[in-house]
Structure 1
């Protein structure tokens, strides 16, 4: 099988790209401001060329000629400079431009050029630093450090900033077990954003799956690798949020940037030739196509072998098992499990997409973790007063109704969270009854409509001390419930100190103060409370409640709960009493939950 991408050695540099239906493909080298085109040789579905010398650092791209017929799935246009799908570094960021979608308009001046990577030895194979059951800290690389006062200005907003001692100190204060980085590969803005004066701030619109974004990671692969090493040295794992479900080339009105101009069969099409849109982003990558699965697997291998990544969170993960319907035994799952580099990695599914029958919480393989939105919604509804004790108990104990009643709790597959990048911040959950996305330019139509949120009588900011006290109590109750739950837990950066987005629950296009973490005005008392919760949980809670019969549910008076207690729709107080393992040397975990007083008291007794 041809090794795709650009591979340099001391004597020569070899380029290979897949384009099975092209009539001709050119390698385009950019040196001293000029472009030189080299016709490539067909090798089955691939095109290859080998040039003398080590061309590390050289800028390159491809052009492909063939049929131009978008209505029947062909987009060949030799005027389009195409990014190598296997590029690992680019010389600039993507920009949105109408010329990207107009036949015959040359795009060499606006499309990034890939950089030939220097030869790099793989890192020694090590087991993941992170294990299920710990605390995952989700963060947007740029937004997390762009306003951090202790990080040098020239480093803020980059992957390298995560290795700064002040950032690591904060992560260690919270007993974080792994950071989950929102997309760090290069993306292009959606077409509608530029006229609104907005940009994509989250990165969920990639073009080349393994090409690091030069704005977030200006030091390329070496910067990511060094940052991972610095975090590993402190016992903190690194997970990458990857988007394998679609690309930024979008729908029929989108541009020709990479796969569309090389191998448009990578995208899923209906029998009439129209693009399938199970992602809401205009296109869907077709995981029934072995070449698409290979690209995804090679991307994961690259980040593990060359950067030491501990695992991956898969955006809209059901797409990976669609052909076109979801299949729990999809080939990609077995291919990951059988791969020696990937088999031990942490794998986290966002288990839903917007396609037909797209909700699949609990349906991924047994060794995968899954974002549990049932936990998010039911815990919010409990503290809002709309859900009963029985449902909360199920969520606290690992969601057996979703993941199975006989699964050992220490192997619980649930990733419990109360807020994520997509939706209200946790502080906004208790401050806004309705979304306020006016700044997004879509007349407040975008984002989730049902958030199970509340405002304690005042919508948004207030100086009312009573309302502020109620909100603080609500936040502590929500956070205490999260840290008391069985399974892996996830906290989004800034939620530990009351970060707000002013009610915006879809801040993907807010690369500004609205979406940035405000370090100067954080609630230190709340941050300290979360640090205490995490310290108590760290290394202890995961050893509790290994089996369902080790858990007792007591009334607030310490009596075993009766059927009547369970059926009370607004049960006032109960205690989650989990016995430790016999050989753990630890005592009981007692969690007292009282909705009337917003109390979540966690007590470990020896």
Structure 2
């Protein structure tokens, strides 16, 4: 390391934050309200040897900045930030620790869990001590990046594809896990952005009929220390340390991570498929007062994190991970919004799912659906036009806020998940299920919000896969190293009500039917459905319902199951195609059960098994396990865009362990109904088969624990 800079250094400018290359040199800018000095550290091309240390010469509006002529793309760098080390007052500056730039768009290397990465002397266990060891050789470095990318000739030159919410079908997947074992990919592309963007993968996703892939976190993240000690890995990625950089571990060539990510997005846009990122702005990988000093903690701890007002040595832990990002601070709020805009404007992603979204809407006095963050996003001309999905809960006070986010947002609806699961296990009530089938108006029908504000799901990355949900009575998480105490506690039996001898064959048949029931309920319900990748062909985690730390075949999608479970795959494709074909299944307005007086039709009628309308007694009766949902698309207030494509659809649900005789209701639009789906059958109705029809007022047998869907054939005028 030279004592005198070999580069020409000038004051530069305070914006934009991070490292901005202009073709001649690089401007560096870093926010720190409480620092006394900031040094830029430059490294050789490997990132292992520090070759230059330059004090940023200017400080403007709490931004330290400087322009370094000759610093080119590909240069590894980091910061050392000077200031008081006073943990009892929330200050944890330690210039012996190399820090990541919060605005870095690329990283090099992996974190090594060694004592020097801690600001205090780890061996003492006392966070008020001061550690003088240099951490540079143990931490990742930032890279100066040339942001140029040729989007020309691609749909990706637009920031978004703008798939309508009423048309959206989400598909949640993990970049690595989805492609790691795919037989059509070369070994070096399995588990990478480039592999995910290959035609073999894109074509498969498109063939399903889904409109949008939702990627588990791809922001640079680190493996938690306790997992490292157990020789496990943070596989899901909910432990971010870089909000602007795609994690290099998913790149075929790590230094090209950003380029590969952009190319992947372009390939999905070519196919008409949106890319949505699961983002983690609620906490960082630095943990609590005993955690490492990697970036924010050493740059300006009391600005970036929420600290206990009565004792700022300690962190507010509304996330359960040790710390909580302080989005109430204007510069931190700016960083989060800058990050979101970066991913939209520079990588052309189409939206975001916000992990523990309640945190971002929490001000010091609690959750506020008019919080600074929510207002900033909703008024932003770029962000307000993207898909915004909140996980509306955290472990803090008042943390459960399903339905509480403002207009413009959609939300994961765990009440849909829980109600649907309970119903098909033989619990719950028809009334509870009916509310969820209507897109949960009790939660979302206010302030002009639409049915698609409810993100419906039955399974997600967190929990059992669909196959395991109906196959395991208890979780099997021993490999996580926590004595099987982690993850949700119980699943309970899905084999209740099997008629006759419970042979392996009958139990397996019921499980397969229950998979179809859950998928059908998800994709036939009003609202926005989200499918977990691999559920369409029986992916299993062998009963592990918290596989966050399993970066191995337990979590990776096993593509050999696709052929073994081809009927389930075909059934799922058929369901998605039905949803696309009949807009009445994905309305823009909430169902009302009111009558269109001009046409004398009602948009929604709930039908009892005897063919009559459900009455109060039937709804109250917990024994009501068989009922129908009649959707009439001819009602002029249905909110369907494409006039001329209306349909009248009857969906029959039977959760009883016995078959049910159902009297098909009459309709003024015709009297012949065509069967388009039956979950009691392994295969959907074939195109070359004679259509199965049913007349109004006739009795129809619906099998035990099954769903049937009919479309009314319109009478000739």
* Range class of TM-score, shorter chain: over 0.9
Match of 1:589 among 620, 639, 649: 649
Q: Secondary structure at the match of 1:203?
A: coil
Q: Aligned partners of 2:651, 2:113: CA distance in 1, in Å?
A: 52
Match for residue 63 of structure 2?
46
Q: Aligned partners of 1:149, 1:45: CA distance in 2, in Å?
A: 52
- Assess if the C-alpha contact under 8 Å between 2:160 and 2:348 holds in 1: no
Match of 2:624 among 560, 571, 578: 571
Match of 1:270 among 308, 313, 322: 308
Match for residue 338 of structure 2?
298
Match for residue 8 of structure 1?
21
1:543 to partner: Cα distance = 4.1
Q: Secondary structure at the match of 1:504?
A: coil
When structure 1 is superposed on structure 2, of 471-480 and 94-103 the one drifting more is 94-103
Match for residue 413 of structure 2?
372
Q: 1:190 to 1:456 in 2, by over 3 A?
A: farther
1:62 to partner: Cα distance = 0.5
Match for residue 586 of structure 2?
542
Match for residue 53 of structure 2?
37
Q: Aligned partners of 2:556, 2:159: CA distance in 1, in Å?
A: 34
Match for residue 174 of structure 1?
208
1:181-330 matches, within 5 Å, as 181-217=215-251, 218=254, 219-265=256-302, 266-271=304-309, 272-273=311-312, 274-324=314-364, 325-330=366-371
Is 1:526 matched with 2:539? no
Match for residue 612 of structure 2?
559
C-alpha deviations, 1:3-44, integer Å up to 9, x for none? Answer: 210011123211011122112110001125443100112223
1:546 to partner: Cα distance = 5.0
1:371-450 matches, within 5 Å, as 371-404=412-445, 411-450=451-490
Match for residue 520 of structure 2?
480
Q: Secondary structure at the match of 1:154?
A: helix
Match for residue 197 of structure 2?
163
Is 1:337 matched with 2:353? no
1:466-505 matches, within 5 Å, as 466-505=506-545
1:127 to partner: Cα distance = 4.0
- Assess if the C-alpha contact under 8 Å between 1:90 and 1:113 holds in 2: yes
1:2 to partner: Cα distance = 2.9
1:536 to partner: Cα distance = 0.6
Q: Secondary structure at the match of 2:138?
A: coil
Q: How many residues align?
A: 602
Q: 1:21 to 1:151 in 2, by over 3 A?
A: same
Q: 1:189 to 1:455 in 2, by over 3 A?
A: farther
Q: Aligned partners of 1:433, 1:358: CA distance in 2, in Å?
A: 29
Match for residue 403 of structure 2?
362
For structure 1, the 5+ residue unaligned runs are none
Q: Aligned partners of 1:204, 1:445: CA distance in 2, in Å?
A: 20
- Assess if the C-alpha contact under 8 Å between 1:430 and 1:456 holds in 2: no
- Assess if the C-alpha contact under 8 Å between 1:186 and 1:206 holds in 2: yes
Is 1:111 matched with 2:139? yes
When structure 1 is superposed on structure 2, of 175-184 and 148-157 the one drifting more is 148-157
Match for residue 388 of structure 2?
347
Q: Secondary structure at the match of 2:383?
A: coil
- Assess if the C-alpha contact under 8 Å between 2:538 and 2:561 holds in 1: no
Q: Secondary structure at the match of 1:412?
A: helix
Is 1:60 matched with 2:77? yes
Q: Secondary structure at the match of 1:302?
A: helix
Match of 2:170 among 126, 136, 154: 136
Q: Secondary structure at the match of 2:378?
A: helix
**Greater C-alpha radius of gyration:** 2
Q: Secondary structure at the match of 1:538?
A: helix
Q: Aligned partners of 1:131, 1:78: CA distance in 2, in Å?
A: 50
Q: Aligned partners of 2:534, 2:288: CA distance in 1, in Å?
A: 35
1:20-31 matches, within 5 Å, as 20-31=33-44
Q: Aligned partners of 1:396, 1:229: CA distance in 2, in Å?
A: 35
Q: Aligned partners of 2:554, 2:503: CA distance in 1, in Å?
A: 20
Q: 1:170 to 1:317 in 2, by over 3 A?
A: same
- Assess if the C-alpha contact under 8 Å between 2:250 and 2:257 holds in 1: no
**Structure 1 length normalisation: TM-score?**
0.95
- Assess if the C-alpha contact under 8 Å between 1:429 and 1:453 holds in 2: no
Q: Aligned partners of 1:598, 1:405: CA distance in 2, in Å?
A: 34
Q: Aligned partners of 1:369, 1:344: CA distance in 2, in Å?
A: 13
1:538 to partner: Cα distance = 1.7
1:122 to partner: Cα distance = 9.4
1:544 to partner: Cα distance = 7.9
1:453 to partner: Cα distance = 6.0
Q: Secondary structure at the match of 1:209?
A: strand
Q: Aligned partners of 1:127, 1:449: CA distance in 2, in Å?
A: 40
Q: Aligned partners of 1:277, 1:104: CA distance in 2, in Å?
A: 28
Q: Secondary structure at the match of 1:208?
A: strand
When structure 1 is superposed on structure 2, of 31-40 and 497-506 the one drifting more is 31-40
Match for residue 82 of structure 1?
99
Is 1:603 matched with 2:710? yes
- Assess if the C-alpha contact under 8 Å between 2:441 and 2:590 holds in 1: no
Q: 1:584 to 1:398 in 2, by over 3 A?
A: farther
1:106 to partner: Cα distance = 1.2
C-alpha deviations, 1:43-102, integer Å up to 9, x for none? Answer: 231111111135111111101122122232111111111000000111123343332114
Q: 1:453 to 1:395 in 2, by over 3 A?
A: farther
Match for residue 19 of structure 1?
32
Q: Secondary structure at the match of 1:435?
A: coil
Match for residue 93 of structure 1?
110
Q: 1:453 to 1:358 in 2, by over 3 A?
A: farther
1:246 to partner: Cα distance = 0.1
1:303 to partner: Cα distance = 0.5
C-alpha deviations, 1:150-199, integer Å up to 9, x for none? Answer: 12211110122221222122212221110000000111111111221111
